[in-house]
């Protein structure tokens, strides 16, 4: 459906082609990675493949199969038609939940969609996921933050010890006593190369109280300054491996945003569809009310003629027909209320809560517009814009990252360590650190460590498993691409079919209006007012009403199919001029 306020919304003149065509698909078990592993559209859109060029539909003009005589009196036929082009929407609905008729309030399709974008509960949930993923990304990056650590200990030592005998006399102390205070601090950082750089220092104050011995200096301060660097050279080396978790977390954030986009596309389409259905049900109700009023007029005429030429059977049949029409009106009023509530749920607007009894009423008229669609461009647009395909492409990228990590894990563990330590000793902490900075007491360490499992079966199995998982991700993308093409073709086919039905039902309605007009001409003579004629008039009224409902239904189906095509092409937000920026993702 389209309303007059948005007459340009549904004009779809060749969805913009992205020009991006994916390159050929290779086996993910080779060493190639990235985009070259992802499926492509060459087999679908290659120059040697014949594709439908698209469709061009004109539905606004008078159908070609209408007789010239009917075209000349089209204004008269439109005037006979129930709920014409100038029809207004009712201000209340008669079927009450309480004792009084329910009031109505108008709302445009733009207002309905905007309300759903900002208030829909499903979107509120989906909007939180990117914020959660952002925190996971921050956690992954935080691994490379500087880490400060410190400690302080106070220890009293009293240890018995052996004594030496010199000439039968004990030599040395029988016990060792001291008080030791230790202070340590370090600053470490993990590097993008996989190594760890650590700067550390310690200061130890020792007060020796061993009897019989004198220590100089006492108390003593021993200070140590250390620079330590550890770096893997094979397994665990390089940014591709070390930053894998960061990149996976970044991809997870992007996937959550694409999932939000998908939810947003779906909610906007559902809201538009619900709005269209509400408009349709209102029009059906108005047509049925018109049909009831026309039937009551016929019954009134038959009531006046009961005394001379109307049989009881004719009269009873007419009354039964009117009662049925009255029941249809009552049932349709409930259908309208249900459609209104479904739209309220999607909108979740605090001004129109679902628990309110106010019935929503559309604005404008149900219209269709001429369109030009390109199948090739629409498929390309789907491949570029659909959130589900973007998410599947990120899944392939994730698996490429996992393959790189698993491949690196098959390498031997070869790590290098280099360490420099500077020592100082004095009666005070300051003097001890002066010796450290003087560099007189330097210790150094350089070493290599190597480790390799015999057979390396665990790492090799993990590597093969990751490559197989990449095959699954690539196949899933290709399947998603195939699904997108199918949905685009089905949606475009539905648009074309609905357009033909719009024209066919318009012809049907015009023919039924001409039928009723002919009866009205006969009605101007007394001979036309027979019970049989009036019953025929009831049937003709019903035929025109059904034709009018079919015309409204085909128009709604046309615009619903068009909305589904936008969804399949991934252009729903563009069609509704909805900008997806960072403001749509909550920060906390």
Judge whether 456 lies within some domain: no
What does the pLDDT look like over 165-182, one tens digit per residue? 776 676 667 777 889 999
Judge whether 408 lies within some domain: no
Hey, how many other C-beta atoms are within 10 angstroms of the C-beta on 432? 22
Judge whether 504 lies within some domain: yes
Judge whether 496 lies within some domain: yes
41 and 8 assigned to the same domain = yes
Report the CATH number that the domain containing residue 267 is assigned in CATH: 1.20.1600.10
112 and 220 assigned to the same domain = no
Judge whether 221 lies within some domain: yes
Q: What is the DSSP string of 335-368?
A: HHHHHHHHHHHHH--TTS-TT--PEEEE-S--B-
**Is there a contact between 200 and 226 (Cβ–Cβ < 8 Å)?**
yes
Judge whether 367 lies within some domain: yes
* DSSP 3-state of 484: helix
Considering the entire predicted model, what is its pTM?
0.80
521: Cβ–Cβ under 8 A, 6 or more apart, which residues? Answer: none
| pLDDT for res 265 | 94
Tokens of 44: 């679908």
339 and 361 assigned to the same domain = yes
247 and 362 assigned to the same domain = yes
Q: What's the domain count of the chain? A: 2
- Show which of 390, 423, 451 is a domain's final residue: 451
Tokens of 362: 């559309």
| pLDDT for res 337 | 93
What are 410's strand-pairing partners?
A: none
In terms of C-beta density within 10 A (0-12 exposed, 13-18 middle, 19 or more buried), how is residue 413 classed? Answer: middle
160 and 133 assigned to the same domain = no
Tokens of 192: 């993008």
201 and 329 assigned to the same domain = no
41 and 64 assigned to the same domain = yes
Judge whether 510 lies within some domain: yes
Judge whether 421 lies within some domain: yes
575: Cβ–Cβ under 8 A, 6 or more apart, which residues? Answer: 9, 10, 12, 566
**Is there a contact between 136 and 245 (Cβ–Cβ < 8 Å)?**
no
| pLDDT for res 58 | 56
Domain that holds residue 580: 4-138+243-403+461-584
388 and 365 assigned to the same domain = yes
What does the pLDDT look like over 243-271, one tens digit per residue? 999 999 999 999 999 999 999 999 999 99
164 and 104 assigned to the same domain = no
- The CA radius of gyration of the chain, in Å to the nearest whole number, is 41
All residue ranges of the chain with pLDDT < 70 are 1-72, 84-89, 91-92, 94-99, 163, 167-168, 170-172, 525-529, 582-588
CA separation for the pair 397, 505 (Å, rounded): 50
Dihedral class, residue 180 (left if φ above 0, else alpha if ψ from -120 to 50, else beta): beta
81 and 109 assigned to the same domain = yes
Tokens of 269: 């389409």
Peptide bond between residue 472 and the one before it cis (omega within 30 degrees of 0): no
**Is there a contact between 195 and 229 (Cβ–Cβ < 8 Å)?**
yes
56 and 134 assigned to the same domain = yes
Q: What is the mean pLDDT of the chain?
A: 83
263 and 397 assigned to the same domain = yes
């Amino acid at each position: 459906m389209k309303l007059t306020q948005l007459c340009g919304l549904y004009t779809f003149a060749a969805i913009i082609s992205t020009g991006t065509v994916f390159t050929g698909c290779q086996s993910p078990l080779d060493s190639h990675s990235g985009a070259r592993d992802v499926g492509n559209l060459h087999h679908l859109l290659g120059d040697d493949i014949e594709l439908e060029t698209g469709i061009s539909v004109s539905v606004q003009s008078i159908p070609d199969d209408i007789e010239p005589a009917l075209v000349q009196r089209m204004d008269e036929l439109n005037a006979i038609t129930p709920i014409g082009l100038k029809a207004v929407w009712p201000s209340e609905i008669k079927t009450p939940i309480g004792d009084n008729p329910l009031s109505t309030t108008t709302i445009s399709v733009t207002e309905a969609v905007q309300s759903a974008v900002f208030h829909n509960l499903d979107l509120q949930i989906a909007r939180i996921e990117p914020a959660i993923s952002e925190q996971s990304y921050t956690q992954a990056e935080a691994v490379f933050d500087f880490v400060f650590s410190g400690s302080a200990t106070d220890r009293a030592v009293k240890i018995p010890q052996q004594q030496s005998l010199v000439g039968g006399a004990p030599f040395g102390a029988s016990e060792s006593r001291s008080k030791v205070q230790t202070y340590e601090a370090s600053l470490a950082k993990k590097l993008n190369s996989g190594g760890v750089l650590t700067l550390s220092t310690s200061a130890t104050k020792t007060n020796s109280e061993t009897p019989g011995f004198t220590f100089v200096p006492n108390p003593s301060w021993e200070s140590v300054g250390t620079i330590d660097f550890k770096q893997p050279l094979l397994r665990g080396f390089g940014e591709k491996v070390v930053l894998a978790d960061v990149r996976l977390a970044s991809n997870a954030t992007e996937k959550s945003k694409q999932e939000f986009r998908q939810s947003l596309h779906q909610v906007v389409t559902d809201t538009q569809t619900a709005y269209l259905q509400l408009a349709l049900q209102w029009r059906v109700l108005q047509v049925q009310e018109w049909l009831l009023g026309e039937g009551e007029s016929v019954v009134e005429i038959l009531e006046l003629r009961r005394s001379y030429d109307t049989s009881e059977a004719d009269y009873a049949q007419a009354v039964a027909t009117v009662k049925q029409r009255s029941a249809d009106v009552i049932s349709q009023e409930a259908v309208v209320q249900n459609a209104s509530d479904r739209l309220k749920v999607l909108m979740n607007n605090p001004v129109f809560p679902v628990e309110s009894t106010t019935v929503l009423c559309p604005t404008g008229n149900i219209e269709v517009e001429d369109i030009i669609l390109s199948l090739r461009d629409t498929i390309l647009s789907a491949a570029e814009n659909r959130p589900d395909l973007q998410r599947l492409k990120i899944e392939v990228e994730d698996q490429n990252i996992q393959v790189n990590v698993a491949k690196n894990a098959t390498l031997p563990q070869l790590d290098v360590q280099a360490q420099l330590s500077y020592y100082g000793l004095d009666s005070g902490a300051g003097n001890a650190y002066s010796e450290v900075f003087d560099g007189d007491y330097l210790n150094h360490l350089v070493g290599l460590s190597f480790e390799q499992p015999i057979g390396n079966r665990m790492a090799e199995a993990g590597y093969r498993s990751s490559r197989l998982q990449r095959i699954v991700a690539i196949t899933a993308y290709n399947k998603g691409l195939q699904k997108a093409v199918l949905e685009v073709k089905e949606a475009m086919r539905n648009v074309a079919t609905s357009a033909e039905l719009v024209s066919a039902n318009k012809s049907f309605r015009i023919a039924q209006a001409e039928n009723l007009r002919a009866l009205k001409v006969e009605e101007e003579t007394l001979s036309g007012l027979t019970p049989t004629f009036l019953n025929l008039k009831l049937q003709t009224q019903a035929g025109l009403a059904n034709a009018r409902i079919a015309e409204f239904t085909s128009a709604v189906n046309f615009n619903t199919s068009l909305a589904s095509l936008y969804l399949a092409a991934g252009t729903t937000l563009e069609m509704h001029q909805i900008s997806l920026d960072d403001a749509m993702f909550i920060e906390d």
